[in-house]
Amino acid sequence: MKITYFGHSAFRIETGSSVILVDPFLTGNPHFKGDVAEARKGVTHIAISHGHSDHVGDAISIAKETGCTVVANFEIYTWLSQKGVTTAAFAGTGGTVAFDDFSVTLTQAFHSSSYTEEDGRIVYLGMPNGLVFHFKDGPTLYHMGDTDMFGDMALIEELHQPKLAMVPVGDRFTMGGAVAAIACRRYFNFDTIIPMHWGTMPILDPSPEKFKEAMEGDAGKVVTPAIGEPFEV
């Protein structure tokens, strides 16, 4: 399985015959210096954790241009349909959507979910979610979305036993590094942790260093991939 980090919470995951974009905030992402066309090349699926613009990102244009399947909650699904996306699939919190190479389960997350339209209207887009991916050829992956720590993370570990995690650490809108480290060490048995949602806005922590320091003896599990460069898991 090959993963590419694009900065913020955006990832490309290549597994089997599937290419998945998660929270594809590319245009306007200050950490993403690549080409959107190259980043979406061969994409078969998009998964969206919640409705904020820095997570929906380029999903609409990519879905329209490629015909890929977009997985999101029902409110985002309905909103995407109104925007002309005809290839979306929905699930509710706790629900799973299965494909040939993987499945994705929507978990709870403690955040909000809305989209500000060009005319200033704010559209409510349902509950925010985390995303758990079970792959046929790779470790189970938990993309936490935007969230604070919550006690039911213990149930996510019990049910899914993820070994690879994408964890928000930038503070202000999500957990900061110290709290994110508590969540990872208290509730999970991750092998590999990729810190995300840092440094892309002036009010976020500029790096994941606070998180790495707070991980203490487990700091060796933290991987900070070069943005835009794929790596194997």
**Mean pLDDT calculated for residue range 159-184:** 98
Tell me the C-alpha to C-alpha distance, in Å, between residue 167 and each of 45, 171, 179. 21, 11, 11
Provide mean pLDDT across the span 76-90.
98
Query: For position 181, what pLDDT does the model report?
Result: 98
Instruction: Give 218's pLDDT tier (boundaries 50, 70, 90).
Output: very high
At 228 the pLDDT is 97
* DSSP sequence for 197-227: S-SSSTTS-SSSHHHHHHTGGGGGGB--PPT
- DSSP E strand boundaries for 86-144: 88-90, 96-98, 102-108, 114-116, 122-124, 129-135, 141-143
Domains (range + CATH), the chain = 2-225 (3.60.15.10)
Bridge partners for 96 per DSSP: 105
Q: What percent of the chain has pLDDT over 70?
A: 100
Phi, psi (deg, nearest 5) at residue 138: -165, 175
* Structure confidence by residue, pLDDT tens digits, 67-82: 999 999 999 999 999 9
Question: pLDDT by residue (tens digit) across 186-213?
Answer: 999 999 999 999 999 999 999 999 999 9
- Over residues 128-167, the pLDDT tens digits come to 999 999 999 999 999 999 999 999 999 999 999 999 999 9
The model's pTM is 0.98
The whole-number pLDDT of residue 126 equals 98
